[in-house]
């Protein structure tokens, strides 16, 4: 999703007042509004069908149903979400950001600021997605190391060998089978834990 080429936007306006202004401002900045709705109940499905790159949302005040829908969207089809709202209560902003909103603007919509707001939101979204990928990778590596350590411990107990020998056996099994060491370790744990 590059902002040098036209990006597609799904517009949500729960107030049904801002849509024309936002749509015009987005199109003036070379964004293509592919669809819009004022119905937050089916928002997640509509956004998915539209295949939009970005979601721009306007509301007086985010309610619990909207926050729930944003959380669903963030889990099912993460994408940058920019919210324009009247309410600027810190607790509301915190809850909205936790639901997956990339930028929360608690002010009147200024058309000349749309591009910069979206640019920052997209950059923040990409950075957050990169951090999530790194976090998942680290969690998987840690889980793999834990299972390898458990397999080594079981081999040491059952075969009366030291840690280095247990690790060598696991490595040899992994090489012989052409499988990752953590997969072989899991198989060893499964068999020796019976």
| pLDDT value of position 19 | 76
| pLDDT value of position 133 | 94
Residue 156, domain CATH: 1.10.10.10
Distance CA 93, CA 98 (A): 9
> Tokens 């592919």 belong to which residue?
34
DSSP letter string, 99-126: TT-SEEE-S---GGGHHHHHHHHHHHHH
Domain count, the chain: 2
> Residues of 170-188 as b/e, b for ≥16 C-beta within 10 angstroms?
beebbeeeeeebbebbbbb
Residue 10 has what DSSP assignment?
A: E
Residue 53, domain CATH: 3.40.50.2300
Q: pTM (2 decimals)?
A: 0.77
Quick one: 69 and 145 in the same domain? no
Quick one: 146 and 186 in the same domain? yes
Instruction: Tell me the average confidence (pLDDT) per consecutive run of 10 residues in the chain, 194 residues long.
Output: 68 83 90 90 90 93 92 94 89 92 87 91 94 95 96 95 95 96 95 87
Quick one: 97 and 155 in the same domain? no
| pLDDT value of position 111 | 84
128 domain-assigned: no
Quick one: 164 and 86 in the same domain? no
Range of the domain at 48: 8-109
Quick one: 80 and 143 in the same domain? no
């Amino acid at each position: 999703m590059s902002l040098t080429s036209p990006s597609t936007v799904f517009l949500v306006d729960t107030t049904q007042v801002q849509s024309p202004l936002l749509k015009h401002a987005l199109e003036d900045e070379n964004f293509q509004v592919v669809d819009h709705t004022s119905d937050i109940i089916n928002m997640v499905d509509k956004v998915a069908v539209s295949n939009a790159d970005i979601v721009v949302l306007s509301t007086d005040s985010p309610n619990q149903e909207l926050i729930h829908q944003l959380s669903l969207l963030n889990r099912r089809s993460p994408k940058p979400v920019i919210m324009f709202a009247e309410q600027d209560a810190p607790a509301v902003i915190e809850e909205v950001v936790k639901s997956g909103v990339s930028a929360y603007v608690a002010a009147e919509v200024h058309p000349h600021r749309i591009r910069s707001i979206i640019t920052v939101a997209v950059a923040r979204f990409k950075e957050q997605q990169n951090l999530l990928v790194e976090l998942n990778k680290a969690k998987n590596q840690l889980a793999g190391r834990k299972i390898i350590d458990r397999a080594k411990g079981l081999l040491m107990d059952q075969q009366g060998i030291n840690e280095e020998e247990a690790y060598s056996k696991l490595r040899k099994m992994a090489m012989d089978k052409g499988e990752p060491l953590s997969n072989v370790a899991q198989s060893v744990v499964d068999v020796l834990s019976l």
